[in-house]
Amino acid sequence: MGLTGREEQIRAAPATPLQTAQSFLTNTVDSSIMKPADEKGLRAWWSRSERKVVPYVFISPFYILFIVFSVGPLIYALYLSLHRWPGSGPMRHVGLGNYTYLAGDPVFLKSLWNTVYYAIGAFLFILPLALVLALLINSTLIRIKSLFRIGYFLPILTSTVAATIMFLLIFNNQFGLINQGLALLGIPALKWLDEELVKISVLAVATWRYTGINVLYFLTGLQSIPPELYEAAQVDGAGAWAQFRYITIPQLRPIALFVGVVTMIGSFQLFAEPLLLANGGPNDASLTIANYLYRMGFTNAKLGYGSAIGWVLALIIFGLSFIQLYLFGAFRKED
């Protein structure tokens, strides 16, 4: 019976950094990779070492492109972030001056708060909604699955420009579709794009746009759960809730981790929606860090300061992802 085994697996503590480091060491010490061609020849060496060499070959395309197209530019951006420079003329070295200025820059702090707001919103609204929808579509209750899958996916296919025009008509302070609906209910019009509500409107557009893709991710996860697990549980007399709790949730873990990390990265890099809907305003009320980075680095040609914002943003995302991965036990040694 599989339940207890599964449960153990969830409860198994994630590897501590020390354990992870130890596993690196033991693996590295194993030196057979580096010893080719003894008397048995290359073939024998290959058949012994194939499993050790092959993963590096399989992952190498990414790292080659990463080194060419990201590492250099990143180092350059780091160098720029230590200077003030408008893109031409002499550079002024300021050490960590851009970073200290950033810590006291009211607009940056505002954009940081706005971005955190969007990220929390994504985790509170988009992901639970997507999970519920995926569970329903995947359940035996529902027969016409493809209609919903496609219907929910439509928004992300719509071009951002066209979608923005539609949403400006929907959120319009005077005549918007929502305000007309409220008027029918006798509720006075709300200013959806003003300081108080604009973040909610941005979040609504993001929910519209990104729920479907998360439904799709969760469905992939749900469909990769072997049906035998449920069959065995039913034989053992487990109810629907027990099956959900002890099979579905643990089995969804890899995909849930993926969805969580991707959503976090995505919401911290949110760019187009606030820009198009309200131009980051009014009074920077919807501005994200990515918008602010663009405003500084490009619109205002503060290349050094923009690079500093970019590095800080990347470090924030990296830190949060690391925590997420750690909590999900992603660094646990494979069994």
Partner 1 sequence: MDDTLTRRAQRTLAYGFLFFILIAMATPFVWMLSNTIKEQSEIFQMPPTLIPEEPHLRNYVSLFVDFDFARHFLNSAFIAVVHTVSHLFLASLAGFAFAKYTFPLKNFLFLVLLGSMMVPLYTIFIPLFVLVIRLGLVNSYAGVIIPGVAGAFGIFFMKQSMEAVPGELLDSARIDGASEFRIYWQIALPLVRPALAVLAVLAFMGSWNDFVWPLVVLRSRELQTLPVVMAGMVNLYRMEYGVVMAASLLSTMPILLLFLALQKQFLAGLTVGAVKS
Partner 2 sequence: MKRKTNMLFAVLLILSLLIGAGSASAQDDVTLTIWTFGSFFTDFYEGIEADYKEIAPHVSIVVEEIPYGQLYDNLQGAFVAGVGAPDIVDVEQGVISRFLKGEPGLVPLNDLIAPHADDYIMAKTGLYAHQGAIYGIDHCLCPVVLYYRHDIFADAGIEMPIATWDEFVEAASVLTEQGISALSLSDRSWGDFYMLLLQSGSPGFFDADGNVIVDSPEAIAVLEWYLGLLESGVAIAPGDSQSTYGLMSEGKIAAAIGADWYGGFIKNNVADTEGLWRAAPLPAFEEGGARTSTHGGTAYSITTQSEHKDEAWAYIEFALFNEDNKIFEFQVNNLLPPVLSHLDNEALLGPDPYFDNQSLGELFLELAPEVPHQSRGPWFNEASTLVGNAIFEAAQGEKTAEQALKDAAAELRRQIDFG
Query: Could you say which residues in the range 15-34 bind partner 1, by CB under 8 A?
Result: 20, 23-24, 27-28
- 140 phi/psi in degrees, rounded to 5: -75, -10
Looking up tokens 């992802």 gives: 321
Task: Give the span between the Cα atoms of 226 and 79, in whole angstroms.
Answer: 50
Which CB sits closer to partner 1, 195 or 271? 271
CB of 91 to partner 2, least distance (A): 9
172 counts as binding partner 2 under rule CB under 8 A = yes
- Looking at residues 85 to 104 of the shown chain, list those that interact with partner 2 (rule: CB under 8 A): 85-90, 92, 101
Q: Is the dihedral of CA 290, 295, 298, 301 positive or negative?
A: negative
Q: How many CB atoms lie within 10 A of CB 130?
A: 24
Q: Is the dihedral of CA 175, 181, 182, 183 positive or negative?
A: positive
Q: Would you say 315 and 309 are in contact if contact means Cβ atoms under 8 Å apart?
A: no
- Binding mask of the shown chain, residues 45 to 64, with x at each position contacting partner 2 by CB under 8 A: --------------------
Expressed in percent and rounded to 5, the helix, strand and coil fractions of the chain are 75, 0, 25
292 binds, among partner 2, partner 1, none (CB under 5 to 8 A by kind): none
- Looking at residues 280 to 319 of the shown chain, list those that interact with partner 2 (rule: CB under 8 A): 281-284, 295, 298-303, 305
- Looking at residues 141 to 170 of the shown chain, list those that interact with partner 2 (rule: CB under 8 A): 168-169
CB of 107 to partner 2, least distance (A): 9
- Binding mask of the shown chain, residues 178 to 207, with x at each position contacting partner 2 by CB under 8 A: -------------x-xxx------------
* Binding region for partner 1 (CB under 8 A) out of 5-13, 120-128, 193-201, 248-256: 248-256
- 213 phi/psi in degrees, rounded to 5: -70, -35
Q: How far is CA 266 from CA 125, 270, 274, 297, in A?
A: 15, 6, 14, 20
User: Which of 222, 257, 259, 252 is closest to 135 using CA atoms?
Assistant: 222
227 counts as binding partner 1 under rule CB under 8 A = yes
* Binding region for partner 2 (CB under 8 A) out of 3-11, 148-156, 240-248, 278-286: 278-286
Task: Give the span between the Cα atoms of 126 and 218, in whole angstroms.
Answer: 12
In a 3-state reduction of DSSP, which class is residue 148? helix
Task: Give the span between the Cα atoms of 272 and 286, in whole angstroms.
Answer: 11
Which CB sits closer to partner 1, 129 or 182? 129
- Looking at residues 57 to 96 of the shown chain, list those that interact with partner 1 (rule: CB under 8 A): 58-59, 61-63, 65-66, 68-70, 72-74, 76-77, 87
156 counts as binding partner 1 under rule CB under 8 A = yes
178 counts as binding partner 1 under rule CB under 8 A = no
- Looking at residues 303 to 322 of the shown chain, list those that interact with partner 1 (rule: CB under 8 A): 303, 306-307, 309-311, 313-314, 317-318, 321-322
- Helices 127-138 and 253-268: crossing angle in degrees, nearest 10, is 140
Residue from 159, 235, 237, 241 binding partner 1 (CB under 8 A): 159
User: Which of 115, 119, 130, 127 is closest to 288 using CA atoms?
Assistant: 115
39 counts as binding partner 1 under rule CB under 8 A = no
Binding residues for partner 2, per CB under 8 A? Answer: 84-90, 92, 101, 168-169, 172-175, 191, 193-195, 279, 281-284, 295, 298-303, 305
